[in-house]
């Protein structure tokens, strides 16, 4: 009934729509739920009966003393709950092992969690250009989960899938979606100020659509200008959570007119925002801190190819009046354009 009341919105008292074969998870969940419902109801009803039956009445004194020890009763209320808990443990542990061991034939994708965004890397090192996890339908997909900073949790309710993403570890899980569609991804572990916007999507596609997606992912620079690729990275790889491109300060400095400006550093120095400074700021943000800003940018060390770094820089140049050079190469699609930047060398340890 409550469910019907809530049906107008997406909210439901029951598990959300499932896009995988989730019978084992769902049966266990509802089994535990009904055990709880039945025993809660039983206890509440008996409580009400006893409250009424043994209520205070004028002239009646406490003549029956309370019951003494009863071995039969003790055994009953020990053995029955123990059996129930053992059954729950059996099915729970079985499901846990099933979810944690990737079948050998699975197609493996790396999931990268960082404050506050998800990234996906396909075999061969290609990233998802639109920031969504694309997968083919009816195919076993193995996920290797890695974190750059704190503990996150990769949570896809429609796949009944939830796995912690722990720094320094490679956690694994897998799924096989059997319904084409787009499904929500959440972070299930509180991970800082913008935890609640650490959202993403899984797009389950036909095999043909997935192949088309991979062609795009592999040939991004043959179909887009460096400036366009840079803008895509800005929007899909989390930069937009902290950097505006129109002037306002979010968490970090705006990129508007940043390239080519003089950046005041926290230690009082001033450095020009050139290729080297920008590249170092992306790969090792803590090396030089922009004065007045907190040192909270997660390092993207090794996350971008030299060509992707170049594209980010072209995008920054295109939105800065402080860049006086020629923007033409940034607006030219050329699959063989040399990369505009090299990855920064690691700064010397302090
Ligand atoms: C969690 C917030 C956050 C995210 C996400 C983030 N940054 Fe930053 N970024 C900052 C802050 C804060 C600073 C200033 C402090 C510093 O210098 O480290 C900064 C500084 C920079 C700078 C130096 C600019 C200047 O004015 O000094 C560059 C370049 C930069 N970020 C690029 C990026 C790119 C590219 C991405 C995405 C791939 C990104 N950032 C994602 C917070 C973030
Ligand atoms: Cu998180």
* 176 CA → ligand 1 middle, Å: 36
Strands (E) in the chain, as ranges, are 107-114, 117-122, 126-127, 133-136, 140-147, 152-156, 161-165, 171-176, 181-187, 200-205, 262-264, 270-272
Pocket test for ligand 1, best of 128, 270, 297, 304 (most atoms within 8 A of CB): 297
pLDDT digits (tens, 9 = 90+) for 143-179: 999 998 899 999 999 999 999 999 999 999 999 999 9
* 238 CA → ligand 2 middle, Å: 12
In a domain, 127, yes or no: yes
User: 309 in ligand 1 pocket by Cβ < 6 Å?
Assistant: no
User: 251 in ligand 1 pocket by Cβ < 6 Å?
Assistant: yes
- Return the structure tokens found at 130: 């639109």
Mean of the pLDDT values across residues 97-126?
90
Q: pTM to 2 decimals?
A: 0.70
Residue 235 has pLDDT above 60, yes or no: yes
In a domain, 145, yes or no: yes
Whether 20 and 141 have beta carbons less than 8 Å apart is answered as no
User: So what's the pLDDT on residue 130?
Assistant: 82
Residue 3 has pLDDT above 60, yes or no: no
User: 253 in ligand 1 pocket by Cβ < 6 Å?
Assistant: yes
Length of the chain: 350
User: 25 in ligand 1 pocket by Cβ < 6 Å?
Assistant: no
Domain that holds residue 280: 220-331
User: 301 in ligand 1 pocket by Cβ < 6 Å?
Assistant: no
What's the total number of domains in the chain? Answer: 3
Residue 6 has pLDDT above 60, yes or no: no
In a domain, 226, yes or no: yes
Q: Are residues 132 and 159 in the same domain?
A: yes
> What CA–CA distance (Å, rounded) separates 224 from 130?
13
pLDDT digits (tens, 9 = 90+) for 41-70: 999 999 999 999 888 888 777 666 667 788
Q: In the structure, what pLDDT confidence band is assigned to residue 338 with cuts at 50, 70 and 90?
A: very low
User: 281 in ligand 1 pocket by Cβ < 6 Å?
Assistant: yes
User: 300 in ligand 1 pocket by Cβ < 6 Å?
Assistant: yes
Q: Are residues 90 and 140 in the same domain?
A: no
> What CA–CA distance (Å, rounded) separates 334 from 223?
8
> What CA–CA distance (Å, rounded) separates 344 from 284?
8
Ligand 1 atom nearest the C-alpha of 261 is: 26
Q: Are residues 323 and 251 in the same domain?
A: yes
Q: Are residues 244 and 295 in the same domain?
A: yes
Whether 185 and 109 have beta carbons less than 8 Å apart is answered as no
Residues 6+ apart with CB under 8 A from 104: none
> What CA–CA distance (Å, rounded) separates 229 from 234?
9
Q: Are residues 309 and 246 in the same domain?
A: yes
* 259 CA → ligand 1 middle, Å: 13
Report the percentage of the chain scoring pLDDT > 90.
59
Choosing from 100, 115, 133, the residue where a domain stops is 100
Ligand 1 atom nearest the C-alpha of 288 is: 17
Q: In the structure, what pLDDT confidence band is assigned to residue 306 with cuts at 50, 70 and 90?
A: confident
Which CATH number does the domain housing residue 143 bear?
A: 2.60.40.420
* 171 CA → ligand 1 middle, Å: 28
């Amino acid at each position: 009934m409550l469910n019907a009341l809530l049906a107008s919105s997406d909210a439901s008292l029951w598990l959300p729509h499932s896009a995988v074969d989730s019978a084992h998870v769902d049966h266990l969940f509802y089994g535990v739920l009904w055990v709880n419902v039945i025993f809660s109801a039983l206890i509440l009803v008996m409580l009400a009966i006893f409250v009424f039956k043994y209520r205070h009445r004028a002239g009646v004194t406490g003549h029956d003393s309370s019951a003494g020890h009863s071995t039969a009763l003790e055994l009953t209320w020990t053995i029955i709950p123990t059996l129930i808990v053992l059954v729950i443990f059996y099915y729970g542990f079985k499901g846990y092992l099933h979810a944690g061991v990737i079948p050998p034939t699975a197609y493996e994708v790396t999931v990268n969690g960082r404050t506050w965004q998800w990234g996906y890397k396909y075999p061969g090192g290609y990233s998802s250009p639109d920031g969504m996890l694309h997968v083919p339908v009816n195919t076993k997909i193995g996920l290797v989960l890695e974190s750059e900073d704190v503990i996150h949790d990769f949570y896809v309710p429609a796949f009944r899938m939830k796995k912690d993403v722990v720094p320094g570890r490679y956690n694994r899980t897998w799924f096989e979606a059997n319904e084409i569609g787009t499904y929500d991804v959440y972070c299930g572990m509180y991970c800082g100020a913008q935890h609640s916007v650490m959202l993403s999507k899984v797009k389950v596609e036909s095999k043909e659509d997935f192949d088309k997606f991979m062609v795009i992912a592999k040939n991004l620079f043959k179909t887009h200008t460096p400036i366009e690729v840079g803008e895509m990275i800005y929007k899909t790889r989390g930069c937009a959570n902290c950097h505006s491109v129109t002037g306002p300060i979010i968490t970090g400095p705006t990129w508007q007119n940043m390239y080519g400006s003089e950046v005041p550093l926290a230690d009082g120095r001033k450095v020009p925002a050139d290729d080297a400074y920008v590249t170092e700021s992306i790969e090792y943000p803590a090396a030089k801190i922009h004065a007045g800003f907190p040192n909270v940018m997660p390092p993207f060390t090794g996350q971008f190819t030299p060509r992707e770094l170049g594209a980010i820089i072209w995008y920054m140049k295109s939105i800065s009046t402080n860049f006086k050079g020629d923007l033409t190469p940034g607006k030219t699609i050329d699959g063989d354009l040399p990369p505009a930047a090299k990855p920064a060398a690691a700064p010397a340890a302090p």
